[in-house]
Structure 1
Amino acid sequence: MSLDDAVAKPHERLAKALAVDLDAVNALIRTRMASEHAPRIPEVTAHLVEAGGKRLRPMLTLAAARMCGYAGPYHVHLAATVEFIHTATLLHDDVVDESGQRRGRPTANLLWDNKSSVLVGDYLFARSFQLMTETDNMRVLSILSDAAATIAEGEVLQLTAAQDLRTSEAIYLQVVRGKTAALFSAATKVGGVIAGAEEDRIAALHAYGDALGIAFQIVDDLLDYQGDTKATGKNVGDDFRERKLTLPVIKAVALADAEERAFWKRVIEKGDQRDGDLEHAIALLNRHDTLEATRQDALGWAETARAAMQSLPESELRTMLTDLSDYVVARIN
């Protein structure tokens, strides 16, 4: 498949099929990110929300609800909730990571300051809880509040695990399930819950979101070492410079000889990075073929997501969600 076939078309088809709902979500987001007394809130929020993001997570909620026959209004509230949680975590992440670029644009903390990013992120978390309570569905509230806590837990775990050469693939997966996949799986699951779907369908939606989110993050981590800055909006080597032990490096450390391990200890654990170190790191990843091994892991999780969809009734939306698995991994094919 070409990139257009595997990536753009499934995503565009889904956006087109959900266009009315997405318009409602965007309108609700604009309304709820307003602030009468603190104009910096909509300024900072709009910089990120209107930055051309694909609204992937809200679309998962909308599609799951529609697949399960939902005809009410609250899937829009839940989709906006998911986007607010996501945006809040991005604002906080960019402060923690001291990032200067996201989606090809300067980050909010660079344009304003760290305090503004953190506090506006807090505001969006509060708004997300207001939105989810308006559904008057305690199970939905439980799922999304659990996801918010899991995301924070994953980020804190990453603080200690990301610069420790003892970090295993199992711990990496725990971090990824926390900081990324938790919101994907919650997004799909609440769509089924608000629709009153059968438990086996809700479980399948959760399994799909979990696997899709893991594949998404693995691909993101892989592209940090072999991506195109113009396409990804990230600088190649950002994770390396931030001393993050992501899957390609974890695999390389496990296969390293004493000299290689000393290199990883210096650049990751001690943070003593010098000119040429990124190029040497990429050479080590290629020497042990860990980029390809990471790619295979991503493809495996994408296949798990596709398999989860097969237990749901056949429909156009199911096909589109299945194709989203290709959308996530096509960037590395």
Structure 2
Amino acid sequence: MKMDGAKRGPQDRLADFLAGDMAAVNRIIREKMASEHAPRIPEVTAHLIEAGGKRLRPMLVLAAAHICGAPANEDHRKLAATVEFIHTATLLHDDVVDESRQRRGRPTANLLWDNKSSVLVGDYLFARAFQLMVEPGSLRVLDILANASATIAEGEVLQLTAARDLATTEATYLKVVRGKTAALFSAATESGAVIAGAGPEEVRALFTYGDALGIAFQIADDLLDYGGTSSAIGKNTGDDFRERKLTLPVIRAVAKADAPERAFWSRVIEKGDQHEGDLEQALALMARHGAMEAAQNDAFAWAATAREALAALPDHPLREMLADLADYVVSRLN
């Protein structure tokens, strides 16, 4: 999601508006990722946290608080840091599960160190996240973030069991996406609203926004894997195909496949018997059945849902930035 200086994206504008709060969040992150006895923990954590990520999820916590009329305080900042630690922990674990070699344009931690280090440091960050989320003293916020953590893990296990199974449905895909991406987006926006003392309608609106934004974001990422550049998506184009992941465009193409096409998908996805030219063949089949276009329309629809949810919130400059963000996550597909 890179933007040039002349055309700054909504994430950049969010970062500018929240710069003071985010400086405090980054201080908390640096303090909490330290370890007196295990120097590998800050080494591995710093490699990922300082790799140029946009800190979108913690900014969503802070933005929700501001929109709901409560200037971000130390509790909001701790929750923002909590969300970033949960996100970083899941990335460390995901890269081990997926055997990934690149993240945000850099070698993954499991490649630079080893799988054991990535898993254990991820565990440490989850523990730190739970320490932080307790500190504001809100049982409701603790419930939101604890449930999100469980949903994330559940989504990853579901993806593992549904992967490489051509019987996987769009409904299952959506459950996976809600787990691996949308759960933390919605937890960020919902917890920010709750800790700000927002009313039920505002809390519900911000939950809906985060959920829909996360789904649109993940569908867009899955589409870009088949048509983006490595710099745009932070990984190698075609990784999902090589890892035999059943993302939305593939599920759509499989649903419309004739017998020879289904045999192709069975060979490359279920059996993992991939050869040179198979990625191009997969792209041709998705184009033949309009699978990419249909998935793109889904991404745009979820972005519209996110944008519409904001109508229930007070007028605020950050509300407009969040609306622009919903448009921006899918504008990468144009």
TM-score by length of 1: 0.97
Q: Which shows bigger deviation, 38-47 or 7-16?
A: 7-16
1:107, 1:229 → 2: CA distance? 14
Residue 4 of structure 1: CA displacement?
6.3
- Corresponding residue for 2:127? 126
2:113, 2:93 → 1: CA distance? 13
Residue 7 of structure 1: CA displacement?
7.8
- Corresponding residue for 1:157? 158
2:291, 2:222 → 1: CA distance? 12
Q: Deviations over 1:276-310 (max 9, x none)?
A: 11111111111112111111110000000000011
For 2:35, the aligned partner's letter is S
**Pairs within 5 Å for 1:32-47:** 32-47=32-47
Residue 19 of structure 1: CA displacement?
0.3
2:213, 2:11 → 1: CA distance? 14
TM-score by length of 2: 0.97
2:223, 2:22 → 1: CA distance? 30
- Corresponding residue for 1:70? 70
Alignment of 1:203 onto 2:204:
yes
Contact kept? 1:6, 1:323, Cα under 8 Å: no
Q: Deviations over 1:242-288 (max 9, x none)?
A: 01000000000001000000000111111111111111111111111
- Corresponding residue for 2:256? 255
Residue 6 of structure 1: CA displacement?
12
Superposed structure 1 runs of 4+ greater than 3 Å apart: 3-8
- Corresponding residue for 1:21? 21
Residue 230 of structure 1: CA displacement?
2.1
SS in 1 for 2:273: coil
Unaligned runs of 5+ in 2: none
2:320, 2:294 → 1: CA distance? 28
SS in 1 for 2:312: coil
Aligned length: 331
Contact kept? 2:68, 2:313, Cα under 8 Å: no
2:289, 2:42 → 1: CA distance? 47
Q: Structure 1 residues 271, 7: closer, same or farther in 2, change over 3 A?
A: farther
2:327, 2:50 → 1: CA distance? 25
Q: Deviations over 1:101-137 (max 9, x none)?
A: 0100000000000000000000000000000001111
Unaligned runs of 5+ in 1: none
Contact kept? 2:153, 2:179, Cα under 8 Å: yes
- Corresponding residue for 2:333? 332
- Corresponding residue for 2:104? 103
Q: Which shows bigger deviation, 297-306 or 269-278?
A: 269-278
**Pairs within 5 Å for 1:275-286:** 275-286=276-287
2:190, 2:87 → 1: CA distance? 16
2:50, 2:69 → 1: CA distance? 30
Residue 162 of structure 1: CA displacement?
1.8
**Pairs within 5 Å for 1:162-177:** 162-177=163-178
1:201, 1:17 → 2: CA distance? 21
- Corresponding residue for 1:237? 238
Contact kept? 1:7, 1:330, Cα under 8 Å: no
Residue 81 of structure 1: CA displacement?
0.3
Q: Deviations over 1:23-43 (max 9, x none)?
A: 001111000000000000000
SS in 2 for 1:332: coil
- Corresponding residue for 2:51? 51
SS in 1 for 2:225: helix
1:232, 1:307 → 2: CA distance? 26
For 1:214, the aligned partner's letter is I
1:206, 1:162 → 2: CA distance? 28
